[in-house]
Amino acid sequence: MVSMQAFYTSLFSTTENNASLSGLLRIARASLKEILAVRSELYWDEWTTTTE
Amino acid sequence: MAGLRHLKGAMDIYAQAIEVLLTHPQTQAWPALAELCHRARSHKPIAWEFSTTAAEAVGGRAEDAVPALGALTCAHMALILIDDLLDEDPRGAYRQLGSGRAANLASALFGLGLDILIKSEIRERERAVAAFGQLMLRTAYGQDLDVQNAQSEEAYWAVTRAKSSPYFGAGLYLGALCAGAEIGTTDRLKQFGELFGEIMQIHDDLNDCLASPANVDWLQGRSPLPILFASGVAHPQQALFIELRNQASDPLALAEAQSILVSCGAISYCARELMLRHAQAERLLAGIVLTNPAPLAKLLATLIAPVHNLFTKVGADIPLNL
């Protein structure tokens, strides 16, 4: 497993990652909607949140 | 239409599993336990279809998995009762029942799940009972680690593996065991389920961090993966993030902190961790001899397709080699 710090260093220092980096940093909350929807479908707390 | 028929069939099997719980002599003698089991009829546990999917994947019938489904429903209810107590969740059943009764009902549900498996006709009953015990034991350990709120990367993954993975692993393991699968196959399905659990935890953390207004993770100083990254990694906005994190009840501070989660690479790190586990799970699944692997592959694809879409949208490669 690559540590968080190593990931950060690679992400921000390697020129060959520049294309990926610019794309990754354009990730906005709005763009994450689809990913967030996955968890909403499989919501661990569903049982609690629907307490009547 | 075939998909709808399959879902309806699986739902009927879920109803059968709940009937097993409701007709158990102890449930019939205990109104509070019966009420919880009644409630489970309309509140299915997360990943409730795992055990039926596993049974079919190994060449069995979905209905073979009824004992697994009943036991896992008990486990889910018990874990939620305990989770709400530990989190002091204001929506938890303990608010109506009282903490002591809620804890006692959680213990009862664990016993009920065990009894369902013991009285089942599963060929490998001892293994099923042992797996159920491991599920509860490992998750309890994970819950205890979690409430201690350790702030290191190693501790995060230890909690995830102990708290989030066993439930998903047990779902597939027990379902396959009920259908008479070979032990090697059940073990690998368990590993697949545990990876699935890790993926779910990362999804969970992304949601919690990006929720607005600030959810309990922000307000109670917890460290889901993106917050752990932004707080622990040395980056130009680290100090600012830590300051904002402590003011997360202020919507403006929260929005700025969430923006830093994006710009410092924390969200990218989570996306990469999702992709890595997806690739690992795909390799694992490809190595298991299954009569019908398609539903399991579909379960996995459902989790990861939006991540692929996101990377495509932003025109980025998936940086698995970092």
pLDDT at position B245, please?
A: 95
Express each pLDDT in B49-61 by its tens digit: 899 999 999 999 9
Q: What type of residue sits at position B123?
A: R
Say yes or no for a CB contact (<8 Å) between A42 and B235.
no
Do B267 and B237 meet the contact criterion of CB atoms below 8 Å apart?
no
Facing A26 at nearest CB: one of B302, B307, B314 = B314
Output DSSP code: residue B45. Answer: P
- Rg over CA atoms, chain B: 21
Do B82 and B75 meet the contact criterion of CB atoms below 8 Å apart?
no
For residue B75 the two structure tokens come to 């486990």
B18 or B44, higher pLDDT: B18
For B321, residues 6+ apart whose C-beta sits below 8 A from its C-beta are none
Half-sphere exposure of A40 (CA within 13 A, CB side): 9
B246 three-state secondary structure: coil
- Tell me the average pLDDT across B257-276: 88
How deeply is B41 buried, as exposed, middle or buried, from its count of CB atoms within 10 A (0-12, 13-18, 19+)? Answer: middle
Distance from CA of B263 to the nearest CA of A (A): 6
For B153, residues 6+ apart whose C-beta sits below 8 A from its C-beta are A3, A4, B228, B232
Express each pLDDT in B88-98 by its tens digit: 888 888 999 99
pLDDT at position A51, please?
A: 43
The pLDDT mean for chain B works out to: 89
Write out chain A residues lying below 8 Å of B77, CB-based. Answer: 47
Of A20, A50, A24, A14, the closest CA to residue B317 belongs to A20
Say yes or no for a CB contact (<8 Å) between B271 and A27.
yes
ipTM: 0.77
Write out chain A residues lying below 8 Å of B263, CB-based. Answer: 25
- Tell me the average pLDDT across B30-36: 96
Instruction: For A10, name the nearest residue in chain B, comparing CA atoms only.
Output: B322
Pick from A12-26, B176-190, B273-287: least confident: A12-26
Euclidean distance between CA atoms B169 and B30, whole angstroms: 30
Facing A25 at nearest CB: one of B91, B262, B302 = B262
Euclidean distance between CA atoms B53 and B61, whole angstroms: 9
Q: Dihedral through CA B279, CA B280, CA B284, CA B287, nearest 10?
A: 60
pLDDT at position A50, please?
A: 46
pLDDT at position B75, please?
A: 96
Residue B267's pLDDT band, with cuts at 50, 70 and 90, is confident
Express each pLDDT in B131-180 by its tens digit: 999 999 999 999 999 888 888 999 999 999 999 899 999 999 999 999 99
The size of the A-B interface in CB pairs under 8 A is 133
Say yes or no for a CB contact (<8 Å) between B314 and A35.
no
Distance from CA of B90 to the nearest CA of A (A): 10
**Which domains are seen in chain B, by residue range?**
2-313 (1.10.600.10)
Instruction: For A17, name the nearest residue in chain B, comparing CA atoms only.
Output: B319
